[in-house]
Amino acid sequence: MNLTSDSGTSWTVRATDGPVPEQFSAALAAPIVATVPGEVHTDLLAAGLIPDPFDGANEGQLHWIGRTNWQYRTEFDWEPDGHTVQEIVAEGLDTAATVTLNGTEIAKTWNQHRAYRFDVTALLVAGRNELVIEFAGPADTADRLAEQLGLWPHTNLHPYNAIRKMASNFGWDWGPDVATVGVWKPIRIESWTGVRIDSVRPLAGLDGDNGVLDAKVALAWADGFTADATITVEAGGTTTEVTVAAGTEEAGVSATIDAVDRWWPRGHGEQPLYDVTVSLNAGEQTDGWTGRVGFRTITMDVAPDEHGGPFVLSVNGKPVFVRGANWIPDDAFVTRLDRSTYERSIADAVDAEMNLLRVWGGGIYETDDFYDVCDELGVLVWQDFLFACAAYSEDEPLRSEVEAEARQAVTRLSRHASLAVWNGNNENIWGYVEWGWRQPLGGRTWGEGYYFDLLPKIVAELDPRTPYSQGSPYSYDHFVHPNDERNGTMHVWDVWNQVDYSTYRKYKPRFVSEFGFQGPPAWSTLTSVVHDQPLDPYGEQMLVHQKAFEGNLKLERGLGDHLPMWKDIDDWHWTTQLNQARAVAYGIEYWRSLFPLNTGTIVWQLNDNWPVISWAAVDGHGHRKPLWFALKHAYADRLLTVQPREDELVVAGHNDTDEVWSTSITVARRSTSAGGAVLAQETFALEVPARAAVLNSLPESITKAGEATTEYIEVRGGDGSAAYWYFVEDAALQLTGDAYTTEVSAVDGGYDVTVTATALAKDLALFPDRLDAAAKVDSCLITLSAGESHTFHVTGASAPAEVGVPVLRSANDLVT
pLDDT digits (tens, 9 = 90+) for 631-649: 999 999 999 999 999 889 9
Write out pLDDT tens, residues 712-729. 999 999 999 999 999 999
State the pTM of this model. 0.97
Averaged pLDDT for residues 545-571: 97
CB 256 within 8 A of CB 209: no
Whether 667 shows a pLDDT value over 90: the answer reads yes
Write out pLDDT tens, residues 403-431. 999 999 999 999 999 999 999 999 999 99
Residue 547: predicted pLDDT = 98
Whether 704 shows a pLDDT value over 90: the answer reads yes
Averaged pLDDT for residues 102-125: 97
Averaged pLDDT for residues 46-71: 97
Residue 503: predicted pLDDT = 98
Give residues with Cβ within 8 angstroms of 283, minimum separation 6: 194, 227
Q: Vertex 245, ends 239 and 249: CA angle to 5°?
A: 85
Q: Vertex 788, ends 783 and 794: CA angle to 5°?
A: 65
Helix axes 569-593, 626-634, angle to 10 degrees: 20
Residue 283: predicted pLDDT = 87
Give the pairing type, strands 512-515 and 490-492.
parallel
> If pLDDT is split at 50, 70 and 90, which confidence band does 500 have?
very high
Give dist(CA 282, CA 469) in Å, integer.
Answer: 41
Q: Give the containing element (helix H, strand E) for 428.
A: helix 428-434
DSSP letters of 163-223?
A: SBS-GGGEEETTEEE----EE-S-EEEEEE-SEEEEEEEEEEEEETTEEEEEEEEEEEE-T
Give residues with Cβ within 8 angstroms of 533, minimum separation 6: none
Q: Shortest CA distance to 581 belongs to which of 622, 509, 534, 631?
A: 631
Give dist(CA 430, CA 592) in Å, integer.
Answer: 25
Averaged pLDDT for residues 2-28: 93
Residue 811: predicted pLDDT = 98
Residue 220: predicted pLDDT = 97
Q: Shortest CA distance to 371 belongs to which of 417, 334, 405?
A: 417
Averaged pLDDT for residues 776-802: 97
Residue 564, burial from CB neighbour count under 10 angstroms (0-12, 13-18, 19+): middle
CB 138 within 8 A of CB 81: no
92: helix, coil or strand?
coil
> If pLDDT is split at 50, 70 and 90, which confidence band does 816 have?
confident
Residue 720: predicted pLDDT = 92
**What is the chain's Cα-based Rg?**
28
194-226 per-residue burial string, b: 16 or more CB within 10 A, e: under 16: bbbbbbbbbbbbbeeeebbbebbbebbbbeebe
Averaged pLDDT for residues 242-263: 96
* Domains along the chain with CATH numbers: 5-189 (2.60.120.260), 193-293 (2.60.40.10), 298-634 (3.20.20.80), 638-726 (2.60.40.10), 740-815 (2.60.40)
Give dist(CA 330, CA 353) in Å, integer.
Answer: 20
Residue 6: predicted pLDDT = 93
Q: Shortest CA distance to 187 belongs to which of 120, 286, 127, 123?
A: 120
Give the pairing type, strands 170-172 and 776-777.
unpaired
Residue 766: predicted pLDDT = 98
Q: Which strands sit side by side in the sheet containing 740-747, from one edge to the other?
A: 740-747, 750-757, 789-795, 776-777
Task: Supply the mean pLDDT for the chain.
Answer: 97
Give dist(CA 635, CA 592) in Å, integer.
Answer: 9
H-type alpha helices, 379-427: 398-413
Give dist(CA 516, CA 539) in Å, integer.
Answer: 24
Measure Cα distances from 526 to 521, 546, 611, 773 in Å.
Answer: 6, 11, 7, 11
Give dist(CA 111, CA 93) in Å, integer.
Answer: 7
Residue 24: predicted pLDDT = 87
Residue 149: predicted pLDDT = 83
Whether 26 shows a pLDDT value over 90: the answer reads no
> If pLDDT is split at 50, 70 and 90, which confidence band does 116 have?
very high
398: helix, coil or strand?
helix
Averaged pLDDT for residues 208-217: 96
CA 384 from centroid of its chain's CA atoms: 11
263-298 per-residue burial string, b: 16 or more CB within 10 A, e: under 16: bbbbbbbebbbbebebbbbbeebebebebbbbbbbb
Whether 526 shows a pLDDT value over 90: the answer reads yes
φ and ψ of 714, to 5 deg: -115, 130
Nearest 10 degrees: Cα torsion 316, 318, 323, 324: 30
Averaged pLDDT for residues 147-161: 93
Whether 29 shows a pLDDT value over 90: the answer reads no
Strands (E), 488-581: 490-492, 512-515
HSE-up of residue 675 (Cα within 13 Å, Cβ side): 3
Q: Out of 25-29, 276-280, 384-388, 593-597, which region has the weakest mean confidence (pLDDT)? A: 25-29
Averaged pLDDT for residues 221-244: 95
